[in-house]
Amino acid sequence: MTRLLPRLFYGFLLTLPLLPSIAKCQDSDSALIHQMSDDILTRGMAYENLRTLCKGTPARLSGSANAAKAVEITRQLLLDAGADTVYLQPCMVPHWVRGAKEQAYLTMADGKKLILHVCALGNSVGTPAAGINAPVIEVRTLAELDTLGAQGILKGKIVFLSYPMQQTFVNNFAAYGDAVMGRVLGPSKAAKYGAVGFILRTLSMSDNDYPHTGVTGYDSTLPKIAAFAISTNDAGKLSTYLRLRKVSTLFMKASCQMLADVPSYNVIGEIRGSEHPEEIITVGGHLDSWDLAEGAQDDGAGVVQSIEVIRALKAAGVKPARTIRAVMFMNEENGGRGGEAYAAAAAKDGKKYILGLESDYGGFTPRGFSIGAKGAQFKKFTAWKSLLEPYGASLWVMGGGGSDVDPLSKVGAIVGELVPDSQRYFEYHHAANDVFENVNRRELLLGAVNMAGLIYLVSKYGI
Ligand SMILES: [Zn+2]
């Protein structure tokens, strides 16, 4: 006890003269973040920018005319926000087209027809022009698909994978992670056993008539079969009718195609750093969206929040020590080419990429940040928690970034993501109801406040 006293006392003396300056820093940072928050919540442009993006360019799927138009719209929004420099970064993107509206119906044992709410999964091939009419067989998991496939039962059939997102997960992203491989791997697994079509219970936590699309993949060594999603309501009906042996066949028809790659762009707006311009902080969202929707939560929200970071810093008169870039990434949904192009350029330009922060979990009430850092670097982030907690960011977890900024970790950047409340995202994700009207203005703006606060702190203190 006594032996410790002198050391403690010495430590106290050492820290004493520092206390007022630390407190002063915290006070001035707190005041600046408060000022930006007031500005964003009263004069912020994120909500109106989201309206412009969603209503002007819904269905911004890579390679589409609306994706090209969205590049021009956000270029202008970044200029309006006050970025010093705005430029386009080229990347080639896949160009998948859905074609005519998909059709699917059941022919029941009694001869009646039942129309189903379906959509093709992204990157799916079409069916033959006349469609496919075949018996349908339900599997609950990919493992069961393998078991039945090995018994030769799936040959000539349409495979219906009915695994629901599990309600027992509290975090809906964990439920999505648990279920999504069925969408990605299911079609080729079914094709391996001779199935002629694939239909997936929509990845959604709620019961309704909206089918949700999303990317699927094909094993190039196997035949490519058409892959659909079916709404949760209709998936429930299909399960019941199959159990009661009331279904004769399922008809599915689609004319989707993958066309040749086309040129497109990431859109970048920058505020140049005043002391360390070579140190780059990236904040972004993805500009492309699925073709069924306006891409409001996914990911117009992240796009306009990132633009708002630039606007709010400029409006507050911040001259950041390090360079801040807002990046609107292209092609997150069905290729990830924008994120790859950005990281490939970063690997060559001799600059130091210190942080890549993305918002791609929807514009819902912010809860905190996921940060891909460990040890002292992670502690540096959590030391800022008290400054952002008043705006909702109380959850700081070791994790990773969004898929557009993840490639930046290869060039040494720490990657992270805004973490909002997850309970409603999968009602809208990749479905026709992901529209501007389903984004709450206050929730969206509060996300921008937290992003602007964190970016400001990193720009001032580095990592
Ligand atoms: Zn997204």
Instruction: Write the CATH number for 425.
Output: 3.40.630.10
Q: What is the pLDDT of residue 261?
A: 98
Does 159 lie in the same domain as 240? yes
Task: Tell me, yes or no, whether 21 lies in a domain.
Answer: no
Does 232 lie in the same domain as 288? no
Ligand 1 centroid from CA 296, angstroms = 10
Does 421 lie in the same domain as 314? yes
Does 267 lie in the same domain as 244? no
Q: What is the pLDDT of residue 25?
A: 78
Containing structural domain, residue 441: 36-93+261-461
Ligand 1 centroid from CA 340, angstroms = 15
**pLDDT tens digits, 2-32:** 333 333 333 333 444 445 566 677 889 999 9
Ligand 1 centroid from CA 416, angstroms = 15
Instruction: Write the CATH number for 140.
Output: 3.50.30.30
Does 409 lie in the same domain as 298? yes
What 3 state SS string does the chain have?
A: CCCHHHHHHHHHHHHHHHHHHHHHHHHHHHHHHHHHHHHHHHHCCHHHHHHHHHHHCCCCCCCCHHHHHHHHHHHHHHHHHCCCEEEEEEEEEEEEECCCCCEEEEEECCCCEEECCEEECECCCCCCCCCEEECEEEECCHHHHHHHHHCCCCCCCEEEECCCCCCCCCCHHHHHHHHHHHHHHHHHHHHHCCCCEEEEECCCCCCCCCCCCCECCCCCCCCCCEEEEECHHHHHHHHHHHHCCCEEEEEEECCCEEEEEEEEEEEEEEECCCCEEEEEEEEEEECCCCCCCCCHHHHHHHHHHHHHHHHHHHHCCCCCCEEEEEEEECCCCCCCHHHHHHHHHHCCCCCEEEEEEECCCCCCCEEEEEECCCHHHHHHHHCCHHHHHHHCCCEEEECCCCCCCHHHHHHCCEEEEEEECCCCHHHHCCCCCCCHHHCCHHHHHHHHHHHHHHHHHHHHHCC
Ligand 1 centroid from CA 286, angstroms = 6
Last residue within a domain, chosen from 201, 233, 255: 255
Ligand 1 centroid from CA 407, angstroms = 16
Q: What is the pLDDT of residue 33?
A: 98
Ligand 1 centroid from CA 330, angstroms = 11
Q: What is the pLDDT of residue 20?
A: 55
Does 80 lie in the same domain as 224? no
Does 265 lie in the same domain as 310? yes
Low-confidence ranges of the chain (pLDDT < 50): 1-18
**pLDDT tens digits, 83-105:** 999 999 999 999 999 999 999 99
Tally of domains in the chain: 2
Task: Tell me, yes or no, whether 266 lies in a domain.
Answer: yes
Q: What is the pLDDT of residue 9?
A: 34
Ligand 1 centroid from CA 271, angstroms = 25
Does 158 lie in the same domain as 118? yes
Last residue within a domain, chosen from 255, 281, 304: 255
Q: What is the pLDDT of residue 315?
A: 98
Ligand 1 centroid from CA 344, angstroms = 21
Task: Tell me, yes or no, whether 167 lies in a domain.
Answer: yes
Last residue within a domain, chosen from 255, 283, 311: 255
Q: What is the pLDDT of residue 17?
A: 45
Task: Tell me, yes or no, whether 163 lies in a domain.
Answer: yes
Ligand 1 centroid from CA 11, angstroms = 49
**pLDDT tens digits, 316-325:** 999 999 999 9
Task: Tell me, yes or no, whether 185 lies in a domain.
Answer: yes
Q: Which residues are catalytic?
A: 332
Q: What is the pLDDT of residue 404?
A: 98
Q: What is the pTM of this model?
A: 0.93
Does 416 lie in the same domain as 380? yes
Task: Tell me, yes or no, whether 2 lies in a domain.
Answer: no
Does 240 lie in the same domain as 336? no
Does 427 lie in the same domain as 286? yes
Ligand 1 centroid from CA 190, angstroms = 27
Does 251 lie in the same domain as 113? yes
